[in-house]
A and B are shown apart, each in its own frame.
Chain A
Amino acid sequence: MVISLENVTKIFGKARVIDNVSVGFNSGELSVVVGDHGAGKSSLLRLLAGELKPDSGKVVVKTGDLRGFAYENSNFFPGLKTADLCTVWTLLYRGFDIKKFRSLLSEAGVAENSRISHLSDSMKSWFGSSLVLASNADIMIFDEPLQYLNSEIKARFIQLVENEAKEGKTVIVSSNEIADFEHSANFVAAFHNGSLVLAGQTEKLLSSHRLFPGASTISPDFKVIGPVLNERLIETEDNIGRKATLKDIVSGYINGSSS
């Protein structure tokens, strides 16, 4: 594992936003952290990025690995310009690729010397992601990067993070919607109310889960995970019932943990 959480709990006020979570992320993989709003995704990413400290447990990072973090609703100083941050990242990340950064900005039509506060939400989001993508950081963390993007730019972002993972980076992305990463995620971690309800390699998850109609009788030999619309998600490697998608599997685990 390049970066991992070991029995981490984080509390805000009286809310346990991360509840005794242990999960690790590998290099060369695109890992997707998924869950509803308030599930604990952003807090998890902030802990991974070192922005927050756990109340208990620990975050373990492989020595020397540099983290790049693009977070939701980036709270930049109002006076900063895109060029200022390009300089800042060049100073902080030795491998920062200015050429790549400029090319990424132009793809979304972001001017190189714009005031960040004047950018639209989608441009801000793309700008933050572009900084991380050009940083050459060993661990790239993106909090809800697709939220404000149109479908064309979304597809481009997914292609870019897939490439980074293939090049050996540890890429961690959070999203409300796993369907966006159905064909690209290598690892999935699903959260519900601050708890980790599912973590596993995508291929393994897809081959070990099936859907059954809700009304059918299921043998007690099978482990029922949870309901998915009118069906139920079952953990089995047998070729029975209907094949589950990644979205079905995540829904089954989240629904199963709430019922």
Chain B
Amino acid sequence: MDFFIFSLFRRFEAFLICETSGRRRINTFLFFALMIPGPLKFLFIFALSSRLLPAIVSEKKIRFFLSLPFSRTELFIYSFIFGFSIIFSATSIGWALFDRGSSPEFLKYFIFYAFYFGITLIYALKIGPMMILPMLLLLFDLVSSFIVPEFFAVSSQFSPIYQQNQPLALAVSLALLAISYVMFVFGRREKW
């Protein structure tokens, strides 16, 4: 058991070296950007989620990872954990530095991150590298209250931004994440 855990940590460390050394600039930028409190954080979480496994898939860098002894499940989990670790640590530091009045809304960020990690991965697997549709979805979610208020009344319940009904929003995000996992791990029509 100890050996298994030790081996798992070694493998995660190997993944982290590839991610952090290979894309140092963008990861550093997003880390600092995510410290900033306020609604802009959602935009940076979106940017981060689309730069993780979805970008690795769409830019065909996944071939590099799959040529190493990583399973697809491992890559999915490592990438997701790595992304949320950045959000968690950057938000915690940002909260300690600039925003100690209110407690950080980690669950809210997790729901948003899981939703867009799933959406952008599905998009990368099925369509391609330009993240136009996920961006439009984010924009529509943001402004739907002004455009179609009737729709907003329903969508805001599970919307990853508004999360009026947080358990429902969490369920929707997790469902999308699960779909993206199944498509990535068991899909046979690879785009790489």
Contact = CB atoms under 8 A, between A and B. Distances in A.
Interface of A: 11, 46, 49-55, 66-67, 69-71, 74-81, 84, 87-89, 91-93
B38 interface: no
A66 B24 CA distance: 30
Closest 8 pairs (CB-CB, A-B): A77-B22, A91-B14, A51-B66, A69-B67, A84-B21, A88-B14, A91-B10, A80-B22
Interface in B10-42: 10-11, 13-14, 17-18, 21-25
Nearest to B27: A79
Given A53-B190, A79-B21, A91 B63 contact: no
B147 interface: no
Interface in B165-192: 187-190
Contacts of A55: 188-189
B61 interface: yes
Contacts of A53: 187-188, 190
A79 B18 CA distance: 9
Contacts of A52: 190
A33 B69 CA distance: 22
B61 A75 contact: yes
A91 to B, nearest CB: 4
A75 B13 contact: no
Contact of A51 (B13, B17, B63): B63
Contacts of B66: 49-51
B68 A88 contact: yes
Contact of B188 (A54, A67, A93): A54
B60 interface: yes
A51 B67 contact: yes
B98 interface: no
Contact of B64 (A46, A76, A79, A93): A76
A78 B13 CA distance: 19
